[in-house]
Amino acid sequence: MGKYVVEGSKKLKGSVDISGSKNSALPIMAAALLTEEECVLENMPTLRDINIMDSIMQSIAVETRFEKQNNIMRIKAGGAVYNADNNELMGKIRASFLTAGPLLSRFGRARISLPGGCSIGSRPIDLHLKGLAKLGAEISKEFGVVELKCKKLKGADIYLDFPSVGATENLIMAASLADGVTTVSNAAMEPEIGDLCTFLQKMGAEIYGKGTDTVRVVGSPGLKGAIHRIIPDRIEAGTFMLIGAACGEIRLNFVRTEHLRPIVAKLREAGAEVVEDGDAVVVKNTGCIKNTDIKTMPYPGFPTDMQPQFMSLMALGQGTGVINETIFENRFMQVNELNRMGADIKTEGSSAIIRGVKRLTGTNVRATDLRAGAALIISALAAEGTTEISDIYHIERGYCGIDEKLRHIGADIRRVDQG
């Protein structure tokens, strides 16, 4: 257990290198289960969630080697088994359920622990299961484990009732070793799904419509090992962009600006200065953030994973803004903590009304989940005085050395181990 101690109100200036995307790396690790051959993943972020997925892979007899000094992970699933049913380990991350599609498709059988509840919402897996059933899986549940069986998955037309990121990924992976053609309509279009498809194509999968809402997969009899470089993390980049807008001037290296469109648009609308420069982006505080309205949407809409951080920026903005959260039912956990720092935020159902205040002041706050924790870091950096953020293991799930990166640009942030 650790906490961050932040002395706020420091002017930040400098450049930050953005790490590989957590949300690409997790499904791509699961995709490596589709072949007996070795896969080599480059630009892997060193994060808690990645370490947990690594342990999950090892728990099903997959050989992995994570060379953290050069961000390379080697995965060889030649000896993999189909029972990913260690409830405690699997319950630690929701992405554990992404092993279902690959294991079922490769072995005709999979035993997967149900992912646990989550503080930001109930996060069911019905869309994953409905799609896998359409591909021919027989599904039962007992003792917290989903059992999936089939002789051989068969391609099918699948319509997703909602463009779920995880369901789209699970189904594309399952379809890549099925007999025949699968079409996933109303598929999620997040860039991380495009990255997964690129990796699968390198493994030999035949996939059309990558990055669109209709993905067609022609099943292959087998897939081979591949080498792949994970795309930059657009949410880490977005978080640092907001830190720049709130506290100084930050240049972010190694980003894909095309993935940052909704964040750039909203930052400019709010009055921040954003300059795109090849694979870098510079964000500057102009001293005047005008509050605006935001509605979270599936990609290319405004990402729910940036909503809490934008709320922190708006807490110190001018005027009133409304955030409408449409993806998760309980994603305003940061509001109480921000209000403890002096923010003026009210929630009403899926909306939050943010009235900008002149100053925030440091106090003790708690990271309730990953992105809420990131929001608290932004507010702590902008606030007067000292803020102590506890339960930072949530933040470390998804941000690679965030305290170190912040110190590099002039922030006064210390990580203190507790107990």
Q: Give the start-end residues of each E strand in 48-117.
A: 63-67, 72-76, 83-84, 109-113
237, 260 in Cβ contact below 8 A?
A: yes
Q: With b meaning 16 or more CB within 10 Å and e meaning fewer, what string describes 232-254? A: bbbbbbbbbbbbbbbbbbbbbeb
User: Given the rule CB under 6 A, which of 146-154, 163-171, 379-387, 402-410 is the region that contacts ligand UD1?
Assistant: 163-171
Contact range with ligand UD1 by CB under 6 A, out of 160-168, 195-203, 223-231, 343-351: 160-168
The 8-class DSSP code of residue 133 comes to H
Task: Provide, rounded to whole angstroms, the least separation between the CB of residue 41 and ligand UD1.
Answer: 15
Give the nearest distance from C-beta 310 to ligand UD1 in angstroms: 14
Which listed range, 67-75, 82-90, 122-130, 216-224, lies at the site for ligand UD1 (CB under 6 A)? 122-130
Among the listed residues 35, 71, 105, 164, the single contact to ligand UD1 using CB under 6 A = 164
**Quick check: 270 and 245 in contact, CB under 8 A?**
yes
Nearer to ligand UD1 (CB atom), residue 96 or residue 105: 96
64 binds ligand UD1 (CB under 6 A): no
Residue closer to ligand UD1 (CB basis): 219 or 308 = 308
The site for ligand UD1, by CB under 6 A, has a size of 22
- Which region, judged by CB under 6 A, interacts with ligand UD1, from 123-131, 141-149, 261-269, 334-342? 123-131
Q: Which of 79, 80, 77 is nearest to 38 (CA)?
A: 77
State the minimum distance, in angstroms, from the CB of residue 221 to ligand UD1: 28
Q: Which of 73, 167, 354, 365 binds ligand UD1 (CB under 6 A)?
A: 167
165 binds ligand UD1 (CB under 6 A): yes
How are beta strands 38-42 and 227-229 bridged, if at all? parallel
94 binds ligand UD1 (CB under 6 A): yes
Which residues face 347 on adjacent strands? 352
Give the number of other CB atoms < 10 A from CB of residue 35. Answer: 23
Instruction: Give the residue numbers annotated as catalytic, written as ranges.
Output: 118
For 249, the token pair is: 């001037």
Residue nearest to ligand UD1 (CB): 166
Interface stretch with ligand UD1, choices 57-65, 121-129, 253-261, 266-274 (CB under 6 A): 121-129
Q: What is the smallest separation between the CB atom of 255 and ligand UD1, expressed in angstroms?
A: 18
Which residue, 274, 275, 310, 263, is CA-closest to 291?
A: 310
Is residue 217 part of the contact set for ligand UD1 (CB under 6 A)? no
Question: Which of 78, 79, 117, 124: binder of ligand UD1 (CB under 6 A)?
Answer: 124
159 sits near ligand UD1 (criterion: CB under 6 A): no
Cβ-count burial of 351 within 10 angstroms (0-12 exposed, 13-18 middle, 19+ buried)? middle
Give the footprint of ligand UD1 on residues 320-349 (CB under 6 A): 327-328
Q: From the list 95, 207, 230, 255, which residue makes contact with ligand UD1 (rule: CB under 6 A)?
A: 95
* Cβ-based nearer residue to ligand UD1, 132 or 246: 132
Q: Are 207 and 200 in contact (CB under 8 A)?
A: yes
**Residue 221 CB-density burial (10 A; 0-12 exposed, 13-18 middle, 19+ buried):** exposed
**From CA 245, how far away is CA 264, in angstroms rounded?**
11
Going by C-alpha positions, the residue among 72, 10, 15 that lies closest to residue 38 is: 72
- By the rule CB under 6 A, 375 interacts with ligand UD1: no
Dig out the tokens for 68 from the structure: 């953290």
**Interface residue with ligand UD1, options 23, 105, 182, 334 (CB under 6 A):** 23
Runs of H (alpha helix) within 150-215: 165-175, 191-202
CB–CB of 163/213 below 8 Å?
yes
**26 in contact with ligand UD1 (CB under 6 A):** yes
Query: d(Cα 143, Cα 139) in Å, to the nearest integer?
Result: 14
Instruction: Quote the least distance from Cβ 177 to ligand UD1, whole Å.
Output: 21
- Least distance in Å: CB of 401 to ligand UD1? 19
Among the candidate windows 99-107, 118-126, 248-256, 379-387, which touches ligand UD1 by CB under 6 A? Answer: 118-126
For residue 55, which amino acid is it?
Answer: S
Binders of ligand UD1 among residues 286 to 305 (CB under 6 A) are: 304-305
Q: Give contact residues for ligand UD1 (rule: CB under 6 A).
A: 23, 26, 94-95, 121, 123-128, 162, 164-167, 188, 192, 304-305, 327-328
